[in-house]
Structure 1
């Protein structure tokens, strides 16, 4: 099996954090020792009286709690979001129009008496198109090139496979952090 090629992160993609101190870098490594858990009941905390803090202490706490990324750094660039919106309009809009047209065509065919298809057929075909439009939303987002400089291909299959891989790896890493 060939090794996964190294990829460059996107400009708006957050960089991966290094392993925190005290935690192993790999899942296979174990920490040197774990503190033993005791079966004693937790002690009740006594209410504490807070003292007024100086302005310097308050401002230093604010700087410590600043998020690692700003909204602008985390936002999807306008060029990329416009590209996604166009693709979603095509891949979701066309099946939605076909789903509605199926209902209208079924009504016309039945009301004029041209032939009598089962009512469930019209319903299932319409629902199939509407279900396809939901999948078109996902495909429209994932088939757009997430790189600002690269427009991507017409159907976007190569972009879809790359973006699907990115999404799955981000999902797996988030899942591993929560375990």
Structure 2
């Protein structure tokens, strides 16, 4: 797709993150089942609910701006989801897998933070005030999820994995 205007760029980026969020709704239940730590599993489940709300916000933006999303597949999220599958397939259940799942989830969050930050900047430039408010709400959720993942890792998840590795 050739993008020639800032409006087209906004639609392209919104279409891309919409695809990413849809892919994530399919991956999060698998991640929750693969997590050994109940707090991590609960976090994945909570993020699934947030992701569904974020998709609804994108639908609202589409309606507010009277635009049509492009049918594209977010290659970046596809790769991140595939990495998550590889972690589940290649690391035995336990604290080491949980540490890898946290790292993978943070990669996803950082991608989403970058995407929503870009969209917010474009919306501001275009004067899309209502869309901007919705995008900033999602951006704040993504940052909060990243913080929660960091706390899970720092509250013993990674240390437990390190101890488990030394014992092996």
Whichever of the two has the greater Rg, that structure is 1
With normalisation by structure 2, the TM-score equals 0.28
Structure richer in helix, relative to its length: 2
With normalisation by structure 1, the TM-score equals 0.27
- Higher RCO (CA 8 Å, separation ≥ 6 residues): 2
